[in-house]
Amino acid sequence: MLDAAILGAVLASIVAAATTLLLAALGELVAERAGTLNLSVEGMMIIGAAVGYAAAYGTGSLIVGTLAAVLAGTLLSLVFAGLAIWLAANQVAAGLATTILGLGLAGLIGAPFVGTTLEAAPALNIPYLSDLPLIGRVVFGQDAFAYASFVLLALVAYTLSRTRIGLVLRAVGESHVAAHALGHPVRKIRTLAVMFGGACAGLAGAQLSLAYTPFWASDMTAGRGWIALALVVFSAWKPLWLLAGAYLFGAVSILQLHVQGFGLGIPSQVLSALPYLATIAALVAISALKRGQGAPASLGVPFVPDR
């Protein structure tokens, strides 16, 4: 049996692990609802992690590091947007190329910081509430990144479902031809959606290198960007389902670490693969249930206005 302190620590770790996925997946969800399939989330996350760590290490400010990470993710997203949206290049190829670019740049930027560490982003304890048994540390003792993920989730859910901006964005994702005929600037809207996705991926990278594991390693994203892409499909492009999926996969990634300490004789390589095996299983289940039918109709289709 786990005592309350250990259980609280495990649950708090799950929140931290899920925050990375939730931030990245929220940005991708917005981009895909606008009709753009952005496969460069991994690249934008790693460049955000590298630039954020470098800026925080050089200035001694986690705030500066976080802002630098968001800016880096946004700038890299503009590379993808230029290729996939404005030049109408194949979105899959453009996304993969941008990911490779991000990985290369991140390795170059982060090379001088290998072996260094930073003080992790502090928990923002809420008076009295954070002292509650079990739930206090889990819910009211998180860092700013976790709270930011909840705020962004609420904003994205409200904007997509309750505002004219969300209506226009969804219209572009469903039929860019009809949206263009109504006078909406399709390419501009998609570019802004991709930029939002880049900012969120950069923020996820900052959370990874400044809070979750406050040091730099060239492969520290470890495929989390690809899991975030799968989460968008898992959620059927709905923000609240995205929250559930992020915490499910966060729990799998954390629990596999604790299972190793139980002495069950399971090879560590198998346990390390659990999050990715869970991703494959989820995608198979989605295919069987045909939940992918909720995808925006114009997702991945380049838009070229009449000339």
Beta bridge mates, 123: 143
For residue 105, give its domain range. Answer: 18-113+120-125+143-222
Dihedral sign, Cα of residue 220, residue 63, residue 241, residue 193: negative
Total domain count for the chain?
1
**Domain assignment present for 283:** no
**Domain assignment present for 94:** yes
**Domain assignment present for 209:** yes
Beta bridge mates, 117: 215
**pLDDT at position 177, please?**
94
- Residues, the chain: 307
Burial of 17 (0-12, 13-18, 19+ CB in 10 A): buried
Torsion over CA of 30, 170, 183 and 164, rounded to 10 degrees? Answer: -90
**Domain assignment present for 108:** yes
**pLDDT at position 1, please?**
45
Torsion over CA of 300, 38, 249 and 239, rounded to 10 degrees? Answer: -70
Residue 187's closest CA among 105, 304, 289, 286? 304
Task: Give, for all 307 residues of the chain, the pLDDT tens digit.
Answer: 456 667 777 788 889 899 999 999 999 999 999 999 999 999 999 999 999 999 999 999 999 999 999 999 999 999 999 999 999 999 999 999 999 999 999 999 999 999 899 999 988 877 776 777 767 777 778 899 999 999 999 999 999 999 999 999 999 999 999 999 999 999 999 999 999 999 999 999 999 999 999 999 888 998 999 999 999 998 889 999 999 889 988 888 887 766 666 666 667 667 677 777 777 787 777 666 655 567 899 999 999 887 4
**Domain assignment present for 282:** no
Asked whether 7 and 67 are in contact (CB, 8 A), the reply is no
Q: How would DSSP label each residue in 58-127? A: HHS-HHHHHHHHHHHHHHHHHHHHIIIIIS---HHHHHHHHHHHHHHHHHHHHGGGTT-B-PPPPB-PPT
**Domain assignment present for 81:** yes
**pLDDT at position 218, please?**
86
**Domain assignment present for 32:** yes
**pLDDT at position 248, please?**
87
**Domain assignment present for 104:** yes
Distance, CA of 66 to CA of 91 (rounded, Å):
28
Neighbours of 184 (CB within 10 A): 15
Distance, CA of 38 to CA of 188 (rounded, Å):
16
Asked whether 45 and 202 are in contact (CB, 8 A), the reply is yes
